[in-house]
Structure 1
Amino acid sequence: MADRREAREAWDALRPVGFLHGLDEAHEKATLTVFDGLDRSAGFKERSFGYTAYDVLESQLDRVFGLGDGPRPAGPVVRDDLNGSPGWRCGRFRVLLKRHEFGSVRSIRWDRGSATKQAVARQPFRDDAQLALDLPGVPRDTPGVVTLVLAHSATQEPLERELFLGRPRHNADGGPAWYWIEPLTTAALGPDPRRKLVEPTLPLWNDDEADVPVRLLRPTSIETA
């Protein structure tokens, strides 16, 4: 079984700063945008949804993290592409995108993917002895950076989303597609740290409270000597 220390390290580093919640937010917005804009009855096929979902998710991620043309990043996330493949980095973890067939995230064949994705799947992993091979035309990854993959998918009817973050494994041997993989669901992510609750300031008085009853006292006579 693969060492899951890296999965915990990534989760502990990325969740508290809202990076994982940002991934989920961008995927939800992208999914709704694509399904609102493309109609199968108008002739759009699965390939159209696939390309569009990938492009729109890229744009939404830039918006969520305050990146792209013009704005300067306001948080810990920077744009960090790899060999032309869109990427976002937070700390030492970079994330690339991979769309998969709904329900088949664990059946991805990385050895049949692009040269960049194959190189990412060949990254050295401390619990695996396979070598990181140099592929023609693909630069070696940035020293000290671990590249993960955000696997995304969705269905229109019924509307369902799948979103996973994991470390891909070059599975030409027919073995597992991931060293580790974690679902990014509402239950798994918990409260969004980017939206901290602000305690309301209580007024010194409240007009809704009932007035304190006041009773008038009759003056008493004072006897004099």
Structure 2
Amino acid sequence: MTEDEKVISEMTDGGIVGALRWAVASAHARAWADFDQETGHNQTVLGIAAHTLLADRLDRVFRLEKYLASEDARDQDVLLAGLSSPEQKSMPAVTGVERADLNNSPAWRYGHRRWFLSSFEYGKVHDIAWGRKSPTKRKIAVQAGSDSPEQFVLPGTYDVPVGENLTPVTLRELLAANERNLSDLVLAHSLDPYSGATELFLGRPRLNIGGGKPWVWLRSLLSGEGSAGSGTRVDAPERIEPTRSADVPDATVRLRPRIAGQEPGTGSVGR
């Protein structure tokens, strides 16, 4: 069994793949529902929103951070806040996952599998240049898989273009990662700003500074093997408008007394 087959099998049996699908569907649907080009939103705004919401949904579905499992009804209210009714009913409860952040980069761990988030332009999952990503992502892209020692890549294996600022990864760092028995992966996601279609992949990145494939292996989590461009349309949830309780009184308005001889409406503002 290859590494990708083993990873997908383990994560499917543990309910992780189903949880990831729910999280991306919820996050991308909300981001897409709130996206409005007429107000000045662009692809950057959409990407940031989708990425932020996906991290939030992962914490929810795994009951982490501020969503820790509890019998307290107030905690349940926090868990479900902002979700549509269908999302609340379909959200799975998955245990065994913990946060495993690295250098302030959010990550989640199941057994010895740890995954980080990375967004990409829709339809271009095979065009990712890891050398242009954060130092953390670049380190992940040169780590060896504990299941595949032949994937071990030392810094300097690839030609670094002139002017490329690449944070070096030491042999000690790589060995330390293997000693922790961690297999670092990337959960790559994309949302098409024109159609709302979603792509979701799990894979082991490959440092491709000098060009070449960005993945040692890559598996779509939405449609079997999948390929770039084979996104799945995510229906947008109903917009949740802010509500105002009828019991909240109107704010008190105080009128400034008029100075003798001053005409109404001539007072200065913000002096």
TM-score by length of 1: 0.75
Matched position secondary structure for 1:158: coil
**Corresponding position of 1:71:** 68
1:98 to 111, 118, 133: 118
Is the Cα–Cα contact under 8 Å of residues 16 and 94 in structure 2 kept in the other structure?
A: no
**Corresponding position of 2:39:** 42
Matched position secondary structure for 2:58: helix
Where do 5+ consecutive residues of structure 1 fail to align? 190-225
Q: Measure, in 2, the Cα distance between the counterparts of 1:188 and 1:48.
A: 29
**Corresponding position of 1:5:** 2
Question: What is the Cα-based RMSD across aligned positions, in Å?
Answer: 2.3
Task: Please list, as runs of the form range in 1=range in 2, the aligned pairs for 1:119-138 lying within 5 A after superposition.
Answer: 119-125=139-145, 126-131=149-154, 134=169
Which runs of structure 1 show a deviation greater than 6 angstroms over 4 or more consecutive aligned residues? none
Is the Cα–Cα contact under 8 Å of residues 47 and 191 in structure 2 kept in the other structure?
A: no
Q: Measure, in 1, the Cα distance between the counterparts of 2:18 and 2:212.
A: 30
Q: Does 1:28 align with 2:51?
A: no
- In the TM superposition, what is the alpha-carbon distance from 1:127 to its structure 2 partner? 2.6
**Corresponding position of 1:111:** 131
Q: Measure, in 1, the Cα distance between the counterparts of 2:24 and 2:103.
A: 23
Identity over aligned residues, as a percent? Answer: 33
Q: Measure, in 1, the Cα distance between the counterparts of 2:115 and 2:187.
A: 6
Structure number with larger C-alpha Rg? 1
- In the TM superposition, what is the alpha-carbon distance from 1:20 to its structure 2 partner? 1.1
Question: For each residue in 1:96-148, what CA deviation from the matched residue of structure 2 results, as whole angstroms up to 9, or x when unmatched?
Answer: 0000000000110001111000000010242335226526xx89647210110
TM-score by length of 2: 0.63
Structure with more of its chain in helix, by fraction = 2
**Corresponding position of 1:89:** 109
